[in-house]
Amino acid sequence: MDRAEIRRVLTPELVVLLVTALVFVGLMWRSSSGTCHNWKDQLGHVTGGFLAAAGEKEYPSPGPKIENREGLRRATKRLLDERPFGCI
């Protein structure tokens, strides 16, 4: 197989498609890892508390009050800044 045959088989469109598929599979594999799963769980808990505190301010209900909204906002920002590579 000489260069002309290889260039005919490996068109630029095919190379771009193969690289895109490889990157996509790599991101899927990385985003399903335990590190990403733990990060998503922590982010869900913190943002859930932040949203609950925001809703508590708008629609007060009897019971314990969530006072530390600024701390929850900082924790959410910190978790977003510390996002592991490849987590979507």
Same domain, 26 and 61: no
Residue 88 burial (CB count, 10 A): 9
Same domain, 25 and 39: no
pTM beyond 0.95: the answer is: no
Range of the domain at 22: 1-31
Residue by residue, DSSP assigns 33-77 as: SHHHHHHHHHHHHHHHHHHHHHHHHHS--SS-----HHHHHHHHH
Q: How many domains does the chain have?
A: 2
Quote the pLDDT of residue 63. Answer: 58
Same domain, 17 and 44: no
Same domain, 77 and 52: yes
pLDDT (tens digit per residue) in 39-68: 888 888 888 877 777 776 666 666 555 566
